[in-house]
Amino acid sequence: MSKAEARIEEVISFYKNKDTVLGYRKLMDCVIDTQDLNLYRQIIDLTDWKEKHPKNETEFIEKSLAILELVSKIPITEYNTNNPVVIGSGLTKSYGINRFQLGPISVEINKSQVYGLVGENGNGKTTLLRILAKELKYNEGNLEFKFDNNYNTNYDLRTNLVYIPQRTQKWYGSLKDNLKFVLSSYGISPEENETRVLMMIARFGLWNYKHLKWNELSSGYKMRFELARTLLRQPELLLLDEPLANLDVLAQQVILEDLKSMCNSINNPIALILSSQQLYEVEKISDKVIYLKDGKYKDNKTENKVEENQLIVEIDCNEEREKLLSVFIDLHLVKLIYNGGIYIAYFQNSTNFSAVLETLGKHKIEVTYTRNITASTRRFFVS
């Protein structure tokens, strides 16, 4: 089964299980990959219809599946994602003597991959992103881009590479007009411009917000606007600094899923590096998580000999340390660290996480939260 066929199957199963919101977003991704403006128009009409008939789910599903049927007839060429789009090697940056030093850091990423960049405040995430975005000069190392579209000028580079900083700039006029402005410089007809823009507005759930101005949008919708604007430009590399800041948990998940879908386009994939404080949410969608500490690099694939041989579990409970030590007596506990709010328990790797859960249950320990962080970058934060 080809990737395109598998994705169509996935959409059908979402609709079958009445996950229509997600199903519709995935259907729109399929339609975007066809680059067929007639199908774009059908999505635009259906989005408008859906807003007017929010309760008519059965008919909405029928209409969606009819579009999906048309999508399935259009061949989609799979993009070969085997080569990196950016190669940074031995990059260093210093802000001056006795000041912050980043690196040396080497990083390369292919299209359709997502890398999460995590670390506490002031550890160099923005600095690294700005270097990769060519916004900041590095001191040593080498940075090479391998874009399909050649770039000769900085303006061309900005088409292939989009960097969205933490604080995005204010814009004037309506959301829709601002999106149309993006495409106006690409020399496409006004009709096609309207269709492509409305398609993106539908995809990012901005239908009822398209006539609003910057100061009328919440942070979450401003971020959706930024993503719609970015996707219209069809970049090859996308660098996002804290896209989840100011978003509620649900909005964070939706944005991350949308980003992942965008990057995994079958014929137009994007390489994405995003920084965030939302470790677990980012880990869920990332192919690799890079952890920066004092400008130095670790990733969740890095092997750490001591930790590799251990099971590391985070436990939030109100019990005394002695009680937990006695509970874990048969589980080959190596050490138990309390960081003021949460216990971090290190076990020999012969212990399973399920055995830890069973033991906690058996001793009726009131656990508010627990997580196996053995493979998570979280272990770097707590060690």
- Shortest Cβ distance from residue 105 to ligand ATP (Å)? 12
Nearer to ligand ATP, 160 or 377 (CB): 377
95 is an interface residue for ligand ATP by CB under 6 A: yes
125 is an interface residue for ligand ATP by CB under 6 A: yes
280 is an interface residue for ligand ATP by CB under 6 A: no
Q: Which stretch binds ligand ATP (CB under 6 A): 95-103, 171-179, 183-191, 346-354?
A: 95-103
Instruction: Rule CB under 6 A: choose which of 119, 205, 235, 269 binds ligand ATP.
Output: 119
Separation of alpha carbons 379 and 358, rounded Å: 22
Q: Which stretch binds ligand ATP (CB under 6 A): 121-129, 193-201, 229-237, 262-270?
A: 121-129
Q: CA neighbours within 13 Å on the CB side: how many for 272?
A: 33
Select from 41, 56, 50, 24 the least CA-distant residue to 254.
24
CB burial readout 102-114, b (16+ within 10 A) else e = bbbbebbbbbbbb
Contact 129, 302 (CB under 8 A): no
3-state SS of 159-219?
A: HHEEEECCCCCCCCCEHHHHHHHHHHCCCCCHHHHHHHHHHHHHHCCCHHHCCCEHHHCCH
Instruction: Rule CB under 6 A: choose which of 58, 80, 121, 368 binds ligand ATP.
Output: 121
* DSSP 8-class letter at 41: H
Contacts of 20 (CB under 8 A, 6+ apart): 14, 57, 60, 61, 64
Count of residues of this chain found to bind ligand ATP when the rule CB under 6 A is applied: 11
Q: Which stretch binds ligand ATP (CB under 6 A): 123-131, 326-334, 339-347, 370-378?
A: 123-131
Nearer to ligand ATP, 90 or 122 (CB): 122
Nearer to ligand ATP, 176 or 288 (CB): 288
- Shortest Cβ distance from residue 117 to ligand ATP (Å)? 8
Instruction: Rule CB under 6 A: choose which of 90, 122, 173, 361 binds ligand ATP.
Output: 122
Q: Which stretch binds ligand ATP (CB under 6 A): 49-57, 67-75, 119-127, 259-267?
A: 119-127
- Shortest Cβ distance from residue 300 to ligand ATP (Å)? 17
Q: Which stretch binds ligand ATP (CB under 6 A): 17-25, 94-102, 197-205, 356-364?
A: 94-102
196 is an interface residue for ligand ATP by CB under 6 A: no
124 is an interface residue for ligand ATP by CB under 6 A: yes
Residue 245 in tokens: 């800041």
Select from 206, 203, 180 the least CA-distant residue to 193.
180
CA-CA distances (angstroms) from residue 50 to 19, 42, 43, 55, 203? Answer: 15, 12, 10, 8, 13
Handedness of CA 223, 227, 233, 238 (dihedral sign): positive
Pairing of strands 237-241, 271-275: parallel
Amino acid at 344: I
126 is an interface residue for ligand ATP by CB under 6 A: yes
Residue 261 in tokens: 């879908």
Instruction: Rule CB under 6 A: choose which of 99, 137, 305, 335 binds ligand ATP.
Output: 99
- Shortest Cβ distance from residue 183 to ligand ATP (Å)? 32
Nearer to ligand ATP, 126 or 219 (CB): 126
64 is an interface residue for ligand ATP by CB under 6 A: no
Contact 143, 237 (CB under 8 A): no
Residue 305 in tokens: 């000999």
Separation of alpha carbons 173 and 176, rounded Å: 8
269 is an interface residue for ligand ATP by CB under 6 A: no
- Shortest Cβ distance from residue 136 to ligand ATP (Å)? 8
Nearer to ligand ATP, 100 or 353 (CB): 100
- Shortest Cβ distance from residue 166 to ligand ATP (Å)? 7
- Shortest Cβ distance from residue 243 to ligand ATP (Å)? 13
Cβ atoms within 10 Å of 145's Cβ, excluding its own: 17
Using CB under 6 A, list all residues that contact ligand ATP.
95, 99-100, 119, 121-127
